[in-house]
Amino acid sequence: MSRRQFTVPARSGGEPDDTGCSILHVDMDAFYASVSLLARPELVGTPVIIGGGGNRGVVLSATYEARAFGVAAAMPMARARRLCPQATVVAPDYTRYSQVSQAVMAVFGTVTPIVEPLSMDEAFLDVSGAGRRLGSPSRIARMVRDTIADEQGVTCSVGVAPTKFVAKLASGLAKPDGLLVVPRTEVVPFLHQLPVGALWGVGERTEESLHRLGLRTVADIAHTPVQTLRRGLGETTGAHLHDLAWGRDPRPVVPARRERSISSDETFAHDVDDPAVIHRQLLKLSDRTAARMRAAGLVGRTVTLKVRFADFTTITRSRTLRDPTDVSRDLYATARDLFDGLGLQRARLRLVGVKVEGLLEAGTAPVQGRLDEPAHGWRDADRAVDRASARFGAGAVRPASLVRDARSTGADARPDGRGARAPARGGPPAGP
């Protein structure tokens, strides 16, 4: 696997001095697409879009080959297909994404305890205390990249800088599969060559305001009196952008915060008014959400149902359970009750979603067994499914009602979703 390294040359020439560049920003390259392609190696090097198979969903991720045609995350799938009709569309595998993300974060944890995840696929690391043990910041960055590539088979880009803001900019410019070091003495020249849109917090509207003021580059902002910026952009924004333009960003790396919620939702290929179809979708989403919770080692108490109607009106309903859970059946039963309680009377739905909040570490929360559970209960069955999915891929084992959806000869399932789990075509048996 190739290893690219970019540097901002020091004024004296040669390797840049990374003294004081204790902040790393590590950003996985096209994370969801890269992980999905681990199971589809024949698609490597081709345009691939990760998302729902229909035209009404959105793009989760895309390979760089697809991005070259203009495909981008959060783009409507219909538009992505028009831009890149030759792309292969692959369904997301959220369980696998969670597993790889956990493994990547574990690599960060071997380097420093001061890790601030921003999402499943990127994080800041403060390596100021790791130098004696592991070497210079740029050496640590190379080690992180090599370890992730060797152990997980996916690549990342790393920015090394004195501040969080500059490190994040550097990792973006190093993509894909690159390393960019911005020495402390080169921060201002590095920033001043960039367009104003590169600054953290500059969206489309702020960029338009800056352009109206005649400001096109970061250097223009830096050399504009801060009072002028405050009058044109507002007190807080003006001062903030002026500080960033001179490389001033005092924010520390804040160690990991617990995830507040885990959710899954899906847009139907066509508006749906059949409760049976909606129930099966809720079962699928509950399975997916619970699997992600188990992969993260979390349990939760509050289940939220999201419903979006054909006219895009969206409502939510929540229920807090007596005991925290990570069991798919519990989430589905609650989500289904919430949906049935709406009494929608064949209303046409565009999207449904299931979210769990009130998350706790699994080992810190007592999990109450149920009187109707057999000796090997629903939690054991879910973990057997997790093991099968890790080995054979997501969807290798599914509830029988979902298998029936996928093929006409599927198993008979109980209408409450409690039918035995059945193997998908070519999958392993369901386990104990």
CA dihedral 3, 108, 40, 429 (to 10 degrees): 160
Specify the length of the chain in residues: 432
- For residue 373, indicate whether it is catalytic: no
Angle at 389 between CA 383 and CA 390, to 5 degrees: 90
Measure the N-to-C terminal CA separation of the chain; round to a whole number of Å.
Answer: 40
User: Do the strands 88-90 and 48-51 form a parallel or antiparallel pair, or are they unpaired?
Assistant: parallel
Please pick, among 15, 42, 65, 122, the residue that the annotation labels catalytic.
122
The reply, when asked if residue 27 is annotated as ligand binding, is yes
Cα(269)–Cα(54) distance, integer angstroms: 5
Which amino acid, one-letter code, is at 266?
E
Give which of 157, 197, 152, 149 is closest to 25, Cα–Cα: 157
Strand order, beta sheet including 23-28: 6-7, 179-181, 156-161, 23-28, 122-126, 115-119
- Looking at beta carbons, which pairs linking 278-283 to residues 24 or more positions away fall under 8 Å? 278/339, 278/349, 278/352, 279/336, 279/339, 279/415, 279/417, 280/401, 280/402, 280/405, 281/352, 282/332, 282/335, 282/336, 282/339, 282/352, 282/354, 283/332, 283/336, 283/399, 283/401, 283/402, 283/417
What is the torsion angle, in degrees rounded to the nearest 10, for the CA atoms of residue 71, residue 75, residue 78 and residue 82?
Answer: -20
Q: How far is CA 189 from the centre of its chain?
A: 33
Q: Distance of CA 227 to CAs 230, 235, 239, 246, Å?
A: 5, 8, 8, 16
Residue 76 phi, psi dihedral angles, 5° rounding: -55, 140
With CA atoms as reference, report the closest residue to 29 among 151, 181, 148: 148
Comparing CA positions, the residue from 308, 306, 304 lying closest to residue 350 is 308
311 is in an annotated binding site: no
DSSP letters for 322-342: EEEE--HHHHHHHHHHHHHTT
Binding residues for Mg(2+): 27, 121
Binding residues: 27, 121
For the annotated catalytic residues, the residue numbers are 122
